Amino acid sequence: MMLSSYLLAQSIHISTKNMSLVLNAQTGKELKFVYFGQKLSDQDLNSIEKTEAARFAAYPAYGLNCTQENALSVQHADGNMSLEMAVQSVDKKDDNHAVTTTITMKDKVYPFYVKVNYKAYKDVDMIETWTEVNHGEKGIVMMTEFASAYLPIRKGNVYISHLYGAWGNEGKLVCEPLTPGVKEIINKDGVRNSHTAHAEVMFSLDGEAKENEGRMIGAALCYSGNYRLKVNTDESEYHHFFAGINEDNSWYNLKKDEIFTTPALALTYTKEGLSGASRNFHKWGREYKLANGNTLRKVLLNSWEGVYFNINEEGMDQMMADIASMGGELFVMDDGWFGVKYPRKNDHSSLGDWEVDKTKLPHGIQGLIDAAKKHGIKFGIWIEPEMTNTVSELYEQHPDWVIKAPQRDLVLGRGGTQVVLDLSNPAVQDFVFGVVDNLMTKYPDLDYIKWDANASIMNHGSNYLTKDNQSHLYIDYHRGFEKACQRIRAKYPKLTIQACASGGGRANWGVLPYFDEFWVSDDTDALQRVYMQWGTSYFFPAIAMASHISAAPNHQTGRVIPLKFRIDVAMSGRLGMEIQPKNMTENEKNLCKNAIAEYKNIRPIVQMGDIYRLQSPYNHIGISSLMYVTPEKDKAVFYWYKTEHFVNQHLPRIPMAGLKADKNYKVHELNRIDAHPLVFEGQVFSGEYLMSNGLEIPYNHRVRGVQPDYSSRVLYLEEVN
């Protein structure tokens, strides 16, 4: 409906339970930003309309203020490069979960339109914003900048927290002050977008960020492709934040009446610090974004680090028997099971040829599913449907399906033969959908798919796109990827699918509506995982973070870490195993069996609870600690990891958080290996005491004849009357 009263008052108030966004939308004038932050009362809203100047355009366009950064730049069909956008109408739609406000703007001269959308959720503190661009001009309008959103942030002592890294070292955290100049966070991989950086940031408005106090703005771009986050700190009183698709080599030729929709930017605000912003992202993600976000995840064993490519029927059956005996619920067979003309023996061949190698698996996939049923567990499988090798039947049949620069030799990736399929091509989209559909049609009892993506777009060119639209490749690849995923989810909504992309390359809210979880990193080293999972938890809930118990020495770092520590770290995410059980001792198997049983008890708290990060490993004081608390605050799980081991060291005592001060909690240690229980085992403490003082955790384990050089504790807290 038309909000005539809004237009008369010129102000639009968009709000959730605890935050407000205010815009000035005078008809015939530019849409202006007024306020974003803590929720306003009616009195405050009335007052800021009179006192807060609408300094900046809410979606600035290039051409009549050329010295400023802009969200939108175009070249009209007649060559004019200017825009002058004015509010035409305001509409509002209310559904069961959210209110969406749409402001339509039109250029004052050209039939060129922009709809700026704001979706405010009723039960979580999150506002998504995105734009829709179209025109009625005679000819093509070239779009050269097309950000999803712009947000001015008042200068002060503002810090930005964001994630960076590399393969095997994803999700690392940096917190730094915003200084004059331009801060950019970008991705150009083409396929994956969260190895080297992330499309999510947090802004601390009160100096260096704290975990559970302080004003915080969080922003997450919901996009699976190349992105650009930019903060321009200029001579004004504001930092200017832009987020959207990376336009490098991706200018877009917009046809008449075509609608170009930008990915959503999710915005949150809290006075409860970094963890408060994380809790908002986690609740919103589980409820509205993550596939099956309210379904508990199974405990699984993945075959990769256990056998790598050496798949065989007997070995798979043995691993299934072992994980079943330890209480696991799912076995996933990784790479190496397929290929007829070109059997998959290593990473040099066979991608795209998704037929069972009967020399390895005489009874095929169905035989393995039957074996899993015999052991009382579910079965899953690994695929990499967006890729092929030049040594494959698929490439021999469809060489035109791969991404390749015209008149250039192929640029080859992993194994010296891997190439990326061109998902801008509808035939390739059909093929990718068919990889999953064929498996599920033949084997409807498949419970889980691990979807990998181990190559970047290394050369620019599409055999499908026309010569004048080659710059659309990066954008159309991800449109095609999303279309294939939408078809898969429409037909198989309950199938569990993991987003693996050379490890943590697809941890983003653009992918997760179609995936149940992601593989945090190919690095399973428990100590390094403490750091990576800490950073990743800023934006993603534990239910989506696959964390596995692996072997020692670790296959990536060579580090020897006790099994107890490896278990405790894995139990802070979606617990799984990445190991060859037949190489474990009976004592090690029993420890894992006990841990799996205890994890099942705390699984609802970890996967559905509220996170409170307590002591960051990035402070480098030898300790890291976090906890999860139920929304009812009747149960909690507390994690404590010693990250450095020295003689006569001194570590801080960690106060807890998130409990109810007037409730009483009984303490029980999980995964205990010590000869004697902790002194506070079974004792009852008030929430007030635990949050004011914490508990004195012994620095080392007391195990007969052993002095482990890594220490960790997991405490289960349960309310008692």
β-pair type (98-107, 112-121): antiparallel
In our burial notation (b when 16+ CB lie closer than 10 A, e otherwise), range 637-667 reads bbbbbbbeeeeeeebeebbbbbbbeebbbeb
Q: Mean pLDDT of all residues in the chain? A: 96
Contact present, 640 and 648 (Cβ < 8 Å): no
Phi, psi of 315 (to 5 degrees): -65, -40
Rounded CA gap, 118 and 124, in Å?
A: 14
The stretch 567-590 carries a mean pLDDT of: 98
The stretch 611-626 carries a mean pLDDT of: 97
Which is nearest to 599 in space by CA: 630, 625, 576?
A: 576
The stretch 446-457 carries a mean pLDDT of: 98
Residue 248: other Cβ atoms inside 10 A: 12
Q: CATH 2.60.40.1180 in the chain, residues?
A: 613-720
- Amino acid in the structure at residue 452: D
Q: 626: pLDDT confidence band, cut at 50, 70 and 90? A: very high
The stretch 371-387 carries a mean pLDDT of: 98
Percent of the chain with pLDDT strictly greater than 70: 99
pLDDT of the residue at 709: 84
Rounded CA gap, 94 and 98, in Å?
A: 6
- Amino acid in the structure at residue 82: S
The stretch 304-323 carries a mean pLDDT of: 98
The stretch 575-586 carries a mean pLDDT of: 98
What one-character DSSP code corresponds to residue 15? E
Contact present, 287 and 293 (Cβ < 8 Å): yes
Q: DSSP string spanning 279-296?
A: HHHHHHIIIIISTTTTSP
pTM of the full structure = 0.97
| Helix, strand, coil share (%) of the chain residues, nearest 5 | 25, 30, 45
Task: Among 32-36, 588-592, 708-712, name the one with the lowest average pLDDT.
Answer: 708-712
What sign does the CA torsion over 346, 347, 349, 354 have? positive
Residue 682: other Cβ atoms inside 10 A: 10
The stretch 591-598 carries a mean pLDDT of: 98
pLDDT tens profile 660-698: 999 999 999 999 999 999 999 999 999 999 999 999 999
pLDDT of the residue at 416: 96
pLDDT at 462 over 50: yes
Q: CATH 2.70.98.60 in the chain, residues?
A: 4-289
The stretch 209-236 carries a mean pLDDT of: 97
pLDDT of the residue at 708: 77
Which is nearest to 599 in space by CA: 625, 578, 572?
A: 572
The residues, ordered by sequence, that sit 6+ positions from 229 with a Cβ below 8 Å of its Cβ are 162, 184, 185, 186, 199, 201, 219, 221, 241, 242, 243
pLDDT of the residue at 1: 27
pLDDT at 65 over 90: no
pLDDT at 707 over 80: no
E strands along 373-458, which residues?
378-383, 387-389, 418-420, 448-451
pLDDT of the residue at 23: 97
pLDDT at 79 over 70: yes
Q: 8: pLDDT confidence band, cut at 50, 70 and 90? A: very low
The stretch 348-353 carries a mean pLDDT of: 98
Integer-rounded Cα Rg, in Å, for the chain is: 27
Which is nearest to 150 in space by CA: 32, 25, 20, 15?
A: 32
Rounded CA gap, 633 and 628, in Å?
A: 10
pLDDT at 2 over 50: no
Q: 410: pLDDT confidence band, cut at 50, 70 and 90? A: very high
pLDDT at 54 over 90: no
The stretch 566-590 carries a mean pLDDT of: 98
Angle between helices 563-570 and 526-536 (to 10 degrees): 10
pLDDT tens profile 491-513: 999 999 999 999 999 999 999 99
Which is nearest to 382 in space by CA: 427, 336, 425?
A: 336
Q: Beta partners for 406?
A: none
The stretch 98-123 carries a mean pLDDT of: 98
Rounded CA gap, 282 and 277, in Å?
A: 9
Query: First CA to last CA across the chain, in angstroms?
Result: 52
CATH topology of domain 300-608: TIM Barrel (3.20.20)
314 in helix, strand or coil?
A: helix
Angle between helices 364-375 and 313-325 (to 10 degrees): 20
- Amino acid in the structure at residue 397: Q
Percent of the chain with pLDDT strictly greater than 90: 95
pLDDT of the residue at 97: 96
pLDDT of the residue at 66: 87
Q: CATH 3.20.20.70 in the chain, residues?
A: 300-608
Give 22-25's long-range contacts (Cβ < 8 A, gap of 24+): 22/48, 22/49, 22/52, 23/58, 23/103, 24/54, 25/87, 25/90, 25/103
CATH topology of domain 4-289: Beta-galactosidase; Chain A, domain 5 (2.70.98)
CATH superfamily of 613-720: Golgi alpha-mannosidase II (2.60.40.1180)
